[in-house]
Amino acid sequence: MADQRLNYVNGEWTESRTGETFETTDPASPEEVIATYPQSDAEDAEQAIEAARDASDDWGSTPGPERGRILAKTGSILDERKDELTELLVREEGKTRSEAGGEVQRAIDIFHYYGSKASDIGGTVKSSSARDTNLYTKTEPLGVAGLITPWNYPIAIPAWKIAPALAAGNAVVIKPASLAPGVVHEMADALEEAGLPAGVLNVVTGPGSEVGGTIASHEAVDAISFTGSTAVGNTVYDAATEDGKRVQLEMGGKNPTVVSDSANVEEAADIVANGAFGVTGQACTAASRAIVHEDVYDEFVDAVVDRADAIDHGHGLDDPGMGPHVSESELESTLEYVDIAQEEGATLECGGSALDREGYFVEPAVFSDVDSEMRIAQEEVFGPVLAIIPVSSYDEAIHVANDVDYGLSASVVTDDHTEANRFVEEVDAGVVKINEKTTGLELHVPFGGMKASSSETYREQGDAGLDFYSITKTVYDNY
């Protein structure tokens, strides 16, 4: 029997005002219903915001070390439940067991990290130019943080928004993505068990137009952090900034890996294949373009095709090489881009077809003979589709890498130190990697994009995550 889940508002698990629900299903077995959730509306979101507003002052005045102990304990509780969280993530989102387990571990690590960082929040002391004067800064929470999170990393992304927001002393309202909200509910349960006061965290499920729109525009919300598509993100930005909210957006990507003629081709193929096909290509940092020097182009294409052909598919709980797309619509979008690429003249080297089996499975697709002006090279696909673009020089590779609207993650595979340093300086991306795949992030350093990939306001994770959820007062104390 499917789980019956509720909203979490003011420390209580409650039904929505509408009484309506929606279901999540297993993308590897779509007939299997995993859970039902409240189909909430604007009034439900308003109740959650009011609860957060009422709880924000007490939580903001709670000493940082005490807040940190609750976060650290939450990390320990999540660790104890890692196996069940991993299974739930697999069954709702479709990742393989290894991928889901890695994501759950990341959430655990994030709570422990910000649990320790909470003790350091306070301010700095400076030497005044005047006598008999203390000069210092005081860091304070913003108040209420509204969070809108995606389905593709359904526990890691909520964790790296919730944990710093709470560490900094803010109350939170979060709308998780409707395709895979279960692990956020489990996170709320762990925080409650760890001692988080009622109202400090509130979880409301439902449509973005109703719940997300209310969170973004409500006058009692002081900050909005959004991760999702660029189109939706821009709508959220307009709604949030109308009354001066602090806003942080992380959105789409069209991430390149440049393969130099000095690169080891087999190593480069491993790096690109892992970045392109991991998590079924459903990552904003996935490598969707390989920009390859013509001297190693043919060899590279053959090597990547070998790796794509070797990937096995199956239910994520069996830990295959690739799980399904999260939904039928995501699968159809990927298949549509495969058709578009062929219509525009790209050569389909392998894959690109839906598998003849239950679930939303697709063969990873590799395209050669791609021109940078093709849609397959310009638009985010969000599936296991790799466009390989030939170039004749390193200068041309940089030009092609930057010739898109996005600027999230980028990598280069090279044995030339000058090329590596030039890439860091010249590529338009917020995350730059040398001889590594475009995916994968460290939690204690800033994360964010450029151009249409980001609002370019505040970064996430590390100390930057705390900066977004905090405001600083400068105090002049003439004694």
Tens of pLDDT, residue by residue over 148-202, are: 999 999 999 999 999 999 999 999 999 999 999 999 999 999 999 999 999 999 9
Kindly give, in sequence order, each residue whose CB lies less than 8 Å from that of residue 417, ignoring residues fewer than 6 positions away: none
The predicted model gives 88-110 an average pLDDT of 98
CA–CA gap between residue 155 and residue 461 (Å, rounded): 14
CATH topology of domain 255-434: Aldehyde Dehydrogenase; Chain A, domain 2 (3.40.309)
Amino acid identity, residue 102? Answer: G
Contact 152, 178 (CB under 8 A): no
As a whole-number percent, the residues of the chain with pLDDT over 90 amount to: 99
**What pLDDT was estimated at residue 220?**
98
Give strand pairing partners of 407. 450
- Short-list 229, 254, 276, CA closest to 407: 254
- Short-list 151, 150, 147, CA closest to 162: 147
CA–CA gap between residue 132 and residue 129 (Å, rounded): 10
Residue in 192, 250, 363, 380 annotated catalytic: 250
Kindly give, in sequence order, each residue whose CB lies less than 8 Å from that of residue 399, ignoring residues fewer than 6 positions away: none
122 Cα distance to chain centroid: 28
**What pLDDT was estimated at residue 412?**
98
Q: Which two tokens stand for residue 53?
A: 């507003």
Q: Where in the chain is the domain with CATH 3.40.605.10?
A: 3-251+454-478
Q: Where in the chain is the domain with CATH 3.40.309.10?
A: 255-434
* Pick from 1-5, 227-231, 374-378: least confident: 1-5
Kindly give, in sequence order, each residue whose CB lies less than 8 Å from that of residue 339, ignoring residues fewer than 6 positions away: none
The predicted model gives 41-48 an average pLDDT of 98
**Phi/psi zone of residue 249: left (φ > 0), alpha (ψ -120 to 50 degrees), beta?**
beta
pLDDT in tens, 195-254: 999 999 999 999 999 999 999 999 999 999 999 999 999 999 999 999 999 999 999 999
416 Cα distance to chain centroid: 32
Distance set, CA 330 to CA 21, 87, 381, 462 (Å): 22, 21, 9, 31
For 93, other C-beta atoms within 10 Å of its C-beta total: 31
CA–CA gap between residue 247 and residue 126 (Å, rounded): 29
**What pLDDT was estimated at residue 245?**
96
Distance set, CA 388 to CA 198, 275, 294, 475 (Å): 52, 13, 11, 56
Please say if the pLDDT value at position 408 is more than 70.
yes
CA–CA gap between residue 90 and residue 77 (Å, rounded): 19
Amino acid identity, residue 136? Answer: Y
CA–CA gap between residue 2 and residue 384 (Å, rounded): 30
Distance set, CA 395 to CA 261, 391, 422, 469 (Å): 13, 9, 10, 40
Contact 429, 398 (CB under 8 A): no
- The yes-or-no answer on residue 336 being catalytic is no
The predicted model gives 312-341 an average pLDDT of 98
**What pLDDT was estimated at residue 293?**
98
Q: Which two tokens stand for residue 229?
A: 């598509």
- Short-list 56, 104, 55, CA closest to 77: 104
The predicted model gives 61-79 an average pLDDT of 98
CA–CA gap between residue 72 and residue 66 (Å, rounded): 10
Please say if the pLDDT value at position 125 is more than 80.
yes
CA–CA gap between residue 422 and residue 401 (Å, rounded): 13
CATH topology of domain 3-251+454-478: Aldehyde Dehydrogenase; Chain A, domain 1 (3.40.605)
**What pLDDT was estimated at residue 2?**
81
Contact 146, 165 (CB under 8 A): no
The model's confidence at residue 1, banded by pLDDT at 50, 70 and 90, is low
CA–CA gap between residue 395 and residue 313 (Å, rounded): 38
CA–CA gap between residue 211 and residue 216 (Å, rounded): 9
> Taking the complete model, does pTM exceed 0.85, yes or no?
yes
